[in-house]
Amino acid sequence: MSLRKAFLHFKTITHHRHLVMKGCFKAGLYWQGLTHDLSKYSWVEFSVGAKYYQGDRSPNNAEREATGVSMAWLHHKGRNKHHLEYWIDYNINKDPSSGKDHGAMAGMKMPERYVVEMFVDRLSASKNYLKDAYRDDDPLKYFLKSQDHYIIHPDTKELLHRLLEMNAQKGEEETFRYIRKEVLHNL
Long-range CB pairs of 160-169 (<8 Å, 24+ gap) are 160/115, 160/118, 160/119, 163/115, 163/116, 163/119, 164/119, 164/122, 164/139, 164/140, 165/140, 167/119, 167/123, 167/136, 167/137, 167/139, 167/140, 168/136, 168/137, 168/139, 168/140
Averaged pLDDT for residues 151-179:
98
What is the tens place of the pLDDT at every residue in 110-138?
999 999 999 999 999 999 989 999 999 99
Q: Is the pLDDT at 94 greater than 80, yes or no?
A: no
Is this prediction's pTM over 0.85? Answer: yes
What is the tens place of the pLDDT at every residue in 25-40?
999 999 999 999 999 9
For the chain, which residues make up each domain, given as ranges?
3-183
